[in-house]
Amino acid sequence: MAIGDLRGLFAEQSLSFLAEIPYIYHCHHYNLFHDQTIDDALGEDEGARIRTAAAHNAFRDLLSAVYERSGATTPVERIALASELFQWMGQGKLHLDVGAGGGRARSASLHYGYAWREKYGARVKRVEPADAVAAGFAAAATELAFGLPSDAIAVTERKCVATRDAECEFDLTPAMGHPPLPPVDEMAVRRYVVPPVRGVDEDRIVAISQGLVEFMSGVQGDERGLIAAFNVFVTAHLPGYYNETIYETVHRAERTAPSSVPAIEALMQQAGQACVFFTFGNVLLSPEWEGLVGPPTGVSSDVISFCTSIARGLGFGHWLVNEYEPRKRLVLQCTSNYEVPFYRSRYGLAKKPRSYFIQGAAQAMMVLAEVVKWKERPQLSNDYYVDLFRAKPRYRVEQTKCLMRGDSISEYVVDAM
Amino acid sequence: MRMSLELSREVTCIRSMAWRCDLPSQLNWPALVAQMLTFDLTQQQAAVKGLTRLVSPRGDEIIFVAASGRVQIRVHYTVPEEQRRFVAERLFQHLVYALRRI
């Protein structure tokens, strides 16, 4: 069975599944920013532990579902299929040399390590490994290949391309297992969406997002397991990873250091800004976009509609424009997103709005629409990002409704300052 | 047809990977593609209508957007950063030679 045959689409909510486990697309800028955010909040050691555990749990859910549907039962079949899946997702090509007691894994091309070296390697010296996602995947793949319980395998990345080693290397060792949590699968996702609503410019947004979904359906990892598209490295990734890392981090801060919570929430918002600036921006400036939609027009309402289309095309959920007044106000809503089902399934109702990613994304959409000169071929550099989002605050965002809190919809209001 | 050509670094997040030049949109694109294929490039199906995608054995790409005349040269990410400009210039040279033949 081909990996692509395991895909499913909840089209009216713009959500995608692999073997009924949700998946989305994020680029290396967001992925690296996200991981850095977790480490900034918790410290490098605890951040790496939380990230590895989240990847471990997320890939256990995915691999279990893939094995069940593909009929892979033997260790050899399961290890081969796991490696193929990881490569297909653009996460890298990982060689697993493992048995029931653990073993080793290695790779010269993992998304996180490779992209980190590409983005920062010339300027920054890194001492900590970057591939918690591959580490968690390797542990999950080993456990499931040999019928071991959850967390029966511990993993350490001892060499990393991002720390200037030639290859990334992982040690997998026996550990104490524990019962896994139930997966957040398609059935759970469908429980936590509300009927789709039409927004401003809906017909055009639907048409463009359908074109993007079709384009993305042809995107998969190359012989190194990487995806270079839209001038960034792209991954098919698991919302379970992002959500567990974000919400475990925030909840821990709420328990142990409440005064740090606003700063941590702001960091999570910034990750959403980085995603829209780098990922959405590079999509908008790509030849593929030009072929699909046309060259940038510089019209701000176009940028708002296009960003909404891109969010849907990447599987972020049914985002819609409820209200838009150029230079003044954007009201973005969601009838579904990839954060809500996880939060509601794992933690129940939230006491306050918690879609940090979309809060930052909505704010960034307004900045992209109103400030960036699209017809002048802007360079989407780190310096420009800092200039747009750190130098002078232009817009503030408030999430006024949240499906996690039990509201009828999620809503994000962006106003000029 | 007279035209001036300039190769510039494209909007990009992967350093020096993408390069750009612009051609007149009324160009004879099929003839240009035919000439480009004499330079050890193969035409592969583009994922989006309206794009033409030529690929080198290593995976460097030249993308034509016929409707706008945009040309993007994408150097493969495995090429070391300091060599990317030279690889892009080599592909640009192929483009110039091909244009002179049509």
- Alpha carbon of A133 to those of A31, A110, A156: distances in Å? 10, 9, 11
pLDDT top residue among A1 and A49: A49
8 Å CB contact between B71 and B36: no
Residue A285 contacts B where some CB pair is shorter than 8 Å: yes
CB pairs under 8 A between A and B: 71
* Cα→Cα distances A187→A67, A132, A183, B20, B92, Å: 18, 28, 10, 46, 51
Separation between Cα atoms, residue A59 and residue A241, nearest integer Å? 8
- Min Cα distance B38 → chain A (Å) is 24
Domains of chain B: total: 1
pLDDT for the residue numbered B1? 63
Instruction: Concatenate the DSSP letters of all residues of A128-174 into one string.
Output: S---HHHHHHHHHHHHHHTTPPTT-EEEEEEE-GGGT-SSEEEEEEE
The SS3 call for residue A400 is: strand
ipTM of the complex model: 0.91
Contacting residues of B for A223, CB less than 8 Å apart: none
Buried b (16+ CB within 10 A) or exposed e, A207-238: ebbebbbebbeeebbbebbbbbbbbbbbbbbb
Q: Mark yes or no for CB contact A231/B18 under 8 Å.
A: yes
How confident is the model at residue A240, as a pLDDT? 98
Query: What tens digit of pLDDT does each residue of A329-344 get?
Result: 999 999 999 999 999 9
Q: Is A380 on the interface with B (CB under 8 A)?
A: yes
| Residue located via tokens 């027009």 | A297
For residues A225 and A90, the answer to whether their CB atoms sit within 8 Å is yes
d(CA A302, CA A299) in angstroms, rounded, equals 5
What pLDDT does residue B50 have? 84
- B20: tokens are 């750009």
Averaged pLDDT, groups of 10, chain B, 102 residues long: 80 79 93 96 86 96 94 94 94 96 90
Task: Report which of A350, A302, A349 is spatially closest to residue A326, judged by C-alpha positions.
Answer: A302
Distance CA(A401)–CA(B49), nearest Å, equals: 39
By CA distance, what is B59's nearest residue in A?
Answer: A222
Domains of chain A in sequence order:
3-174 (3.30.1380.20), 186-416 (3.30.1380.20)
Q: What is the pTM of this model?
A: 0.95
CB contact under 8 A, A218 and B47: yes
The CB-side HSE value for A87 (13 A sphere, CA atoms) comes to 17
Question: A219 — contact with chain B (CB < 8 Å)?
Answer: yes
Q: Is residue B2 part of a domain?
A: no
Q: Is A166 on the interface with B (CB under 8 A)?
A: no
B49–A218 C-beta distance less than 8 A: no
In a domain, B3, yes or no: no
Percent of chain A with pLDDT over 70: 100
Nearest beta carbon to residue B51 from set A224, A287, A295: A287
Beta bridge partners of A415: A329, A396
Average pLDDT over residues A246-263: 96
DSSP code per residue over A330-372: EEEEES--SSHHHHHHHH-S-SS---HHHHHHHHHHHHHHHT-
Predicted local confidence at residue B100, as pLDDT: 93
> Do A165 and A114 meet the contact criterion of CB atoms below 8 Å apart?
no
Domain at B79, CATH number: 3.30.310
Both tokens of residue A10?
């909840």
Round to whole Å and give the CA distance between A292 and A310. 12
Which chain B residue has the Cα nearest residue A29?
Answer: B13
Give A95-129 pLDDT, tens digit per residue.
999 999 999 999 999 999 999 998 898 889 999 99
Mean pLDDT of A187-204: 97
Mean of all residue pLDDT scores within chain A: 95
**pLDDT tens, position by position, A147-178:** 999 989 999 999 999 999 999 999 999 998 77
Helix, strand, coil percentages in chain B from 3-state DSSP, rounded to 5? 30, 25, 45
What is the average pLDDT across A366-381? 92
What is the predicted pLDDT for the residue at A230? 86
Pair B69, B23: CB distance under 8 Å: yes
CA distance A303 to chain B (A): 17
Parallel, antiparallel, or unpaired for β A21-27 and A410-416? unpaired
Segment A390-408 shows an average pLDDT of 93
Residue range(s) defining the domain that contains residue B87:
8-101
Minimal CA–CA distance to A343: which of A188, A196, A203? A188
Cα A156 from Cα B38, distance rounded (Å): 50
Taking the alpha carbons of A256, A50, A145, A315 in that order, is the dihedral positive or negative? positive
Query: Which residue in this structure is represented by tokens 């279990």?
Result: A64
Residue showing tokens 């930052």: A360
